[in-house]
């Protein structure tokens, strides 16, 4: 047992390469922090953009998770100033915030994917109490995992649970199972399930994934020249939902590109292999740009959804039983959709009542248009 334990030093000294690498990792975390502050203070996301979808609270929770990550990463500047990592309260603080932030990002990315899948695929109305319960449960689960590791799994013979791990502080090397199953496991599960949910929603909306009474669920693909057959039966809501999911599916792709490099290097290093620090630093910089990338993605998603009421179907709208089989309708189930409030407001703004008062003259008398009295704005052609 003793031979498998790693020494837990109280201090590590940086060389010049570690100074530069850790500094730029901290700089990446700081840039993400600035981007999130800009989003909250100056951009100010509009609640009506994500109305009726609960996405607003889920996206905010994702950004809060990024803040936890950023706080843990910005502490790197303290290590650079001291010339190395020092075991103590600051080290514990950094390790806890890093684990909480990374775990929270995995959890909320998965919850967003599950919710988008429900809105675009299942179309099941989610009561507000379920939405609030999901928020409370997710954050409680995240804090529980962090606290149970520190106070229930820490052993004196193994050293501190949060300690020096390479060039910064995180879960100590003597807790390899906790490293894998209390953080990386959730990250890979989140990526895998999110890919599956987004792809399933995309195929369902396009009409590639269909269901009939004979064969059940099946996937169909048509030649390039016959793609128009997939659009049979689609209305404006179906087309807008397709546009949304085509953009949302890029999120797990970007998340994978950010997470996989640092995960592979760290796991490879955990197994006793030597990894050049320059590779770890590059992967760390990329990983800590996650907050900045999430801000860009959220602004992009907001522009794609100027008003949810005008693009996505209301969650209270129930599916109408079609008199035709799904196979005959091209695999697209028609929905009962409420009239768009945005359309009504637009048309009411465009509609004007123009009153024309003609002068009193004998019958069959020509009246020049310049002498008409009208309520229409002057200088406007009709």
| Tens digits of residue pLDDT in 314-325 | 433 344 444 444
SS3 88: coil
Instruction: Quote the pLDDT of residue 137.
Output: 97
**Mean per-residue pLDDT over the chain, rounded:** 77
- Structural contact between residues 28 and 285, judged by C-beta atoms closer than 8 angstroms: yes
- Structural contact between residues 222 and 229, judged by C-beta atoms closer than 8 angstroms: yes
Instruction: Quote the pLDDT of residue 331.
Output: 45
Instruction: Quote the pLDDT of residue 75.
Output: 96
pLDDT band (50, 70, 90) for residue 242: low
Position with higher pLDDT, 227 vs 32: 32
pLDDT at 111 over 80: yes
What are the tokens at 247? 């953009």
DSSP code of residue 123: -
Cα(260)–Cα(267) distance, rounded to whole angstroms?
10
Whose structure tokens read 């962090």?
Answer: 146
Beta bridge partners of 162: 171
114-157 pLDDT, tens per residue? 988 887 778 788 888 998 999 999 999 999 999 999 999 999 88
pLDDT band (50, 70, 90) for residue 45: low
Instruction: Quote the pLDDT of residue 327.
Output: 42
Give percent of the chain above pLDDT 70. 63
Cα(381)–Cα(359) distance, rounded to whole angstroms?
21
Q: Which long-range contacts (CB under 8 A, 24 or more apart) does 78-85 make?
A: 79/14, 79/22, 79/167, 79/168, 80/14, 80/19, 80/22, 80/23, 80/26, 83/13, 83/14, 83/19, 84/11, 84/12, 84/13, 84/14, 85/11, 85/12, 85/164, 85/167, 85/168, 85/169
Q: What is the mean pLDDT of residues 77-90?
A: 95
Q: What is the mean pLDDT of residues 155-168?
A: 92
| Domain annotation for the chain: domains and CATH numbers | 9-311 (1.20.1070.10), 341-374 (no CATH)
Report the relative pairing of strands 162-165 and 168-171 from DSSP bridges: antiparallel
pLDDT at 197 over 50: yes
Instruction: Quote the pLDDT of residue 334.
Output: 47
Q: What is the mean pLDDT of residues 76-81?
A: 96
What are the tokens at 323? 């008199």
Q: CA dist 372 to 352, 353, 366, 375, Å?
A: 18, 16, 12, 10
Q: How many CB atoms lie within 10 A of CB 310?
A: 16
Let me know the angle formed at the C-alpha of 102 by 108 and 257, rounded to the nearest 5 degrees: 85
Cα(326)–Cα(333) distance, rounded to whole angstroms?
7
Q: Which of 115, 126, 279, 277 has its CA nearest to residue 197?
A: 115
Cα(204)–Cα(116) distance, rounded to whole angstroms?
13
pLDDT band (50, 70, 90) for residue 329: very low
pLDDT at 174 over 80: yes
Instruction: Quote the pLDDT of residue 59.
Output: 87
Instruction: Quote the pLDDT of residue 36.
Output: 93
- In sequence order, the 6+-apart residues with CB closer than 8 A to the CB of 95 are 72, 161, 162, 163, 165, 169, 170, 171
Q: What is the mean pLDDT of residues 227-235?
A: 51
Instruction: Quote the pLDDT of residue 363.
Output: 66
265-296 pLDDT, tens per residue? 988 888 878 889 999 999 999 999 999 998 98
- Structural contact between residues 111 and 138, judged by C-beta atoms closer than 8 angstroms: yes
Instruction: Quote the pLDDT of residue 128.
Output: 86
354-366 pLDDT, tens per residue? 555 656 666 666 6
Instruction: Quote the pLDDT of residue 314.
Output: 44
Q: CA dist 157 to 164, 173, 182, Å?
A: 16, 13, 20
Whole-model pTM? 0.74
Position with higher pLDDT, 48 vs 163: 163
pLDDT band (50, 70, 90) for residue 26: very high
Cα(231)–Cα(330) distance, rounded to whole angstroms?
8
Whose structure tokens read 């201090």?
Answer: 11
Instruction: Quote the pLDDT of residue 201.
Output: 81
């Amino acid at each position: 047992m003793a031979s498998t334990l790693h020494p837990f030093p109280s201090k590590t000294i940086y060389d010049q390469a570690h100074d530069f690498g850790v500094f730029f990792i901290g700089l990446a975390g700081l840039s993400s922090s600035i981007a999130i502050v800009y989003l909250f203070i100056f951009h100010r996301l509009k609640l009506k953009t994500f109305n009726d979808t609960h996405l607003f609270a889920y996206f905010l929770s994702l950004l809060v998770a990024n803040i936890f990550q950023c706080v843990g990463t910005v502490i790197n500047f303290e290590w650079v100033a001291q010339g190395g990592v020092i075991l103590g309260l600051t080290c514990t603080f950094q390790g806890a915030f890093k684990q909480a932030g990374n775990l929270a990002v995995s959890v909320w990315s998965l919850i967003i994917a599950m919710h988008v899948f429900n809105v675009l695929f299942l179309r099941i109305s989610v009561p507000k109490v379920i939405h609030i319960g999901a928020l409370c449960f997710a954050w409680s689960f995240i804090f529980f995992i962090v606290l149970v590791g520190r106070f229930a799994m820490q052993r004196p013979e193994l050293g501190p649970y949060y300690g020096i791990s390479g060039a910064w502080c995180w879960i100590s090397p003597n807790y390899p199972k906790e490293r894998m199953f209390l953080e990386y496991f959730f990250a890979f599960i989140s990526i895998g399930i999110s890919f599956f949910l987004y792809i399933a929603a995309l195929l369902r909306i396009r009409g590639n994934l269909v269901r009939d009474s004979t064969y059940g669920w099946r996937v169909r693909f048509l030649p390039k020249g016959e793609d128009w057959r997939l659009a049979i039966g689609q209305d404006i809501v179906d087309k807008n939902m397709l546009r949304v999911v085509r953009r949302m599916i890029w999120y797990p792709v970007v998340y994978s590109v950010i997470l996989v490099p640092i995960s592979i290097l760290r796991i490879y290093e955990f197994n006793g292999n030597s990894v050049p620090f320059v590779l770890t630093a590059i992967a760390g910089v990329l990983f800590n740009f996650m907050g900045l990338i999430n801000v860009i993605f959220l602004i992009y998603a907001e522009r794609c959804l100027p008003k949810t009421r005008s693009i996505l179907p209301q969650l209270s709208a129930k599916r109408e039983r079609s008199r035709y089989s799904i196979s005959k309708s091209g695999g697209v189930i028609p929905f009962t959709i409420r009239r768009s409030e945005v359309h009504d407001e637009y048309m009411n703004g465009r509609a004007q009542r123009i009153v024309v008062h003609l002068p009193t003259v004998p019958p069959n008398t020509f009246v020049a248009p310049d002498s008409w009295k009208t309520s229409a704005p002057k200088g406007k052609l009709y």
